[in-house]
Amino acid sequence: MDNILSISVESDNSAHRSCVDRVNELLKNKSAIPTFSQAAVKLCALAQKEDASIDEFTHVVSLDPGLAARCLYVASSIGFAARPIENIQQALMLVGVRQIRRIAFTVAVIGAFSGFSARIDWKKFWFHNVLVARLTEDIAKRYREVTGMEYLAGLLHDIGKVIVEHYFPKEFEHVIVGAIEKQCNHAQMEKSILGVDHAQIGAAMCQSMQIHPHIQRAVRFHHEPMSPAHASDPDGDLGFLATCVCAADQVANKVIMRRKEPIQPVSLAEFAPKGSFMHQQQNALSLPLDVQKEVAKTEGDLAGLL
Ligand SMILES: [Fe+2]
Ligand SMILES: [Fe+2]
């Protein structure tokens, strides 16, 4: 894992060398990387536990007043409580573990980056990331039981862009213009301008934030899920998350580009990388994704948060 995540210069280009050195410096300097609250760290651990109970979630959510308030707000706004919701446990019972996990991760991740003064359009950024998180979970559950790691991988997939935009603003402008001119994705342009892309930076950030290694790998390979770099897969599962995030990212980009048009359900077959496990499981592929529903829910998730 360390080899895959270490960032090194792949060419003799001196501009690349200085950018990569700077990125490595930033990654070493803990104050440049946001930290999760204690509650968020515990929630990440709970997400990896298949049989996590409402009681365990109640305990962790109660540790963080902001998170607790948000859970109560969402539970009340769902509107099916017969009487006012009085405590966290009641809220969690109403909302359910999966939804609580999503709220908790969204609040924790947005909170961790709230003090970060990048000149990013945060609304757009988090809309994209929350939508990808929801779609990643939606895609993954066609193939297996989801644990919460899928949502978190989607939520964090583009987190490296925060570093690129904040510390390399001039290069970032060139990336935007170049990607439009050359009709390629940002990661390819970043690689040619900076010598490193947001997927590499994001994965290294996740590593320093002690996020689960499977999530680090999904972030690292979300633009190249079929990369031979992670083809050696001891448990036959390491490419799964990256492939789901990659497909979710493409669906979300399509939605954002066609925002003014009505959003129709899409078939996963259009987005699954060729040669991936998805192509061998046609039944799951033919099921359409209800993008309209996920867009509306994403807007609801972010209401009042930004
Ligand atoms: Fe990306
Ligand atoms: Fe993305």
* Per-residue model confidence as pLDDT tens digits over 134-150: 999 999 988 888 888 89
What angle do the packed helices 88-95 and 54-62 form, to 10 degrees?
130
Separation of CA 72 and ligand 2 centre (Å) = 30
Q: Fill in the DSSP letter of residue 266.
A: E
Separation of CA 158 and ligand 1 centre (Å) = 5
Give the pLDDT score at 82. 60
Give the pLDDT score at 139. 92
Separation of CA 85 and ligand 2 centre (Å) = 36
Q: With a threshold of 0.75, does the pTM exceed it?
A: yes
The contacts of residue 170 (CB under 8 Å, 6+ apart) are none
* Per-residue model confidence as pLDDT tens digits over 81-101: 566 777 888 888 877 777 877
Ligand nearest to the CA of 201: 1
Ligand 1 ion: Cβ-proximal residues, 5 Å cutoff = 158
Query: What are the backbone angles phi and psi of residue 31, rounded to the nearest 5°?
Result: -70, -15
Separation of CA 241 and ligand 2 centre (Å) = 14
HSE of 32 in the Cβ direction (CA atoms, 13 Å)? Answer: 18
Gap between the Cα atoms of 279 and 290, Å rounded: 20
- The H-or-E segment that residue 274 falls in is none
Gap between the Cα atoms of 55 and 290, Å rounded: 32
* Per-residue model confidence as pLDDT tens digits over 3-60: 666 788 777 889 999 999 999 998 888 777 777 777 777 877 776 676 778 888 888 8
Separation of CA 186 and ligand 1 centre (Å) = 7
Using CA of residue 58, residue 61, residue 65, residue 66, what is the dihedral sign?
negative
Domains in the chain (CATH in brackets) are 2-34+119-302 (1.10.3210), 35-114 (no CATH)
Query: What are the backbone angles phi and psi of residue 288, rounded to the nearest 5°?
Result: -75, 150
